[in-house]
Structure 1
Amino acid sequence: MKAKQLYEYHVWANRQYFNLLKEMDPSIFKKEVESVFSSVSEVFSHIYVVDKIWLGCLVGDDFDTIFSKVQDWDKEAESPTIEAIEEKFLKLTGAFQGFFDKVESEDDPLIVEHPRFGKLHTTYIEIVQHIVNHGTYHRGNLAAMLRQMGHKGASTDYIFYLYALENAERGG
């Protein structure tokens, strides 16, 4: 299923940053910078909450229900360490895997009724593509923020994910 592979890329790319940040001074996770987000931890919190929003949409929750949970998810996403937010992402990945296990066709129609943007006729794979694109955009923010602090970002291009899959299949 293409949607599941796209999501697995998203998980892999996030993991590249979790692993990179665990090699750095732990203070970098919360260090304040002048950027789109004020800290690396805020970027991960944002990605986490938005992933939860769209998972709710995929499983059929209406936006009133989803939005009623966002404040709790924001609090849940506040993490003192990279390891703490990584653990939250691991649990969220399990929830996404549960969703993928139930989907018969990623091309099945999905109607999203957003209170601000209206009704959207889409498919599961298009929403997963949005989730992945959103994460990719914000991992770009992470790369810029780390560069601003004097560090390199992680290589998270999709092609590197494909190479990692290929190498894993060959046992390398």
Structure 2
Amino acid sequence: MTNHPVEMYNYHAWANQTIMGRIKELPSSVLRQEVNTSFPTIAHALSHIYAVDKTWYMVLTGTEMPEALQTCLPLHETILDSVDEYAKAFDELAEQYKAWLRSQADLEQTILLDNPYAGIRQTRLSEIVLQVVNHGTYHRGNVSTMLRQLGHASTMNDYALFWYQEPAK
């Protein structure tokens, strides 16, 4: 039986690497070219996705959300020098997530989430994983739009394409 939160996280990691693979094919300047959109540059968008992924990983592994947010806040403005550096950072974090996911017996268990922006609520671990995936999908869409505004095609990174990246079982 498929564990859907795990499958969706695997999709998220694949989609991040897919969009970065496309960016690697382009001139290195694309990463820092300014665009009039949600983020000033593609590098800023990638830094944001990474910072949020890291924040949620810290929450999943036991850090209270206010502390995780404070710890990861500087990552939003940390602009790496190359797409390879982003790909490496994302890959390392994905490996941490996957190890954590393998260690979880029950992703439907709840934690008390103290979100300083929205309040306190009981939240399933699976909901947090799906939030990570949804957030990444949203901002990869921003990156695709930014690429088009800069005169470059993006690449497909839809979940349906991910289905075909693995051999049929």
**TM-score interval, smaller chain:** over 0.9
User: Structure 2 length normalisation: TM-score?
Assistant: 0.92
Helix, strand or coil: the match of 2:35? coil
Aligned partners of 2:75, 2:147: CA distance in 1, in Å? 25
Deviations 1:130-168 (A, max 9, x none): 111100000110111111111111101110001222xx3
User: Structure 1 length normalisation: TM-score?
Assistant: 0.91
Structure 1: which 5+ residue stretches go unaligned?
none
Helix, strand or coil: the match of 2:165? helix
Say if 2:57 and 2:97, in contact at 8 Å, map to a contact too.
Answer: yes
Question: Post-superposition shift, 1:120?
Answer: 1.5
- 1:10-89 matches, cutoff 5 A: 10-74=12-76, 77-89=78-90
Helix, strand or coil: the match of 1:36? coil
- Partner in structure 2 of residue 141 of structure 1: 142
After the TM superposition, which parts of structure 1 deviate over 6 Å for at least 4 consecutive aligned residues? Answer: none
Helix, strand or coil: the match of 1:145? helix
Say if 1:47 and 1:138, in contact at 8 Å, map to a contact too.
Answer: yes
Structure 2: which 5+ residue stretches go unaligned?
none
- Across the two proteins, how many residue pairs are aligned to each other? 167
Which residue identity is paired with 1:52?
K
Which residue identity is paired with 1:90?
D
Aligned partners of 1:146, 1:73: CA distance in 2, in Å? 22
- Cα RMSD, aligned residues only: 1.5
Say if 1:3 and 1:124, in contact at 8 Å, map to a contact too.
Answer: no
Aligned partners of 1:72, 1:37: CA distance in 2, in Å? 16
What is the percentage of aligned positions where both structures have the same residue? 29
Question: Post-superposition shift, 1:169?
Answer: 4.4
- Partner in structure 1 of residue 5 of structure 2: 3
Deviations 1:2-51 (A, max 9, x none): 22111110011111111111111111011111111011111100000000
